[in-house]
């Protein structure tokens, strides 16, 4: 396995785990009078962006051609 593919897949796994944990924290009822220490919505947003970018990078690594977009 290529080392770059390993790190990309590892980043995807970590980002999915972080996104999952943030969803769990969002669904919990906050304790009365205790604010949440971690802002779950921005962290979840960043995790989803990281997943999308890592999947695009993984597609580039697997196919061997760079992603050119619609304007190509």
Counted domains in the chain: 1
* Residue 46 within any structural domain of the chain: no
Cβ–Cβ under 8 Å, residues 53 and 67: no
Neighbours of 72 (CB within 10 A): 5
* Residue 51 within any structural domain of the chain: no
pLDDT digits (tens, 9 = 90+) for 5-50: 999 999 999 999 999 999 999 999 888 898 888 899 999 999 999 9
* Residue 14 within any structural domain of the chain: yes
* Residue 43 within any structural domain of the chain: no
The model carries a pTM of 0.83
Can you give the residue range of the structural domain that contains 5?
1-28
Cβ–Cβ under 8 Å, residues 46 and 22: no
* Residue 61 within any structural domain of the chain: no
Residue among 9, 35, 34, 38 nearest 23 (CA): 38
């Amino acid at each position: 396995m290529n080392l770059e593919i390993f790190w990309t897949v590892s980043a995807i796994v970590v980002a999915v785990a972080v996104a999952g944990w943030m969803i769990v924290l969002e669904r919990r009822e906050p304790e009365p009078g205790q604010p949440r220490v971690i802002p779950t919505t921005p962290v979840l947003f960043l995790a989803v962006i990281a997943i999308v970018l890592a999947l695009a990078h993984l597609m580039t690594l697997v196919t061997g051609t760079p992603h050119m977009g619609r304007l190509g």
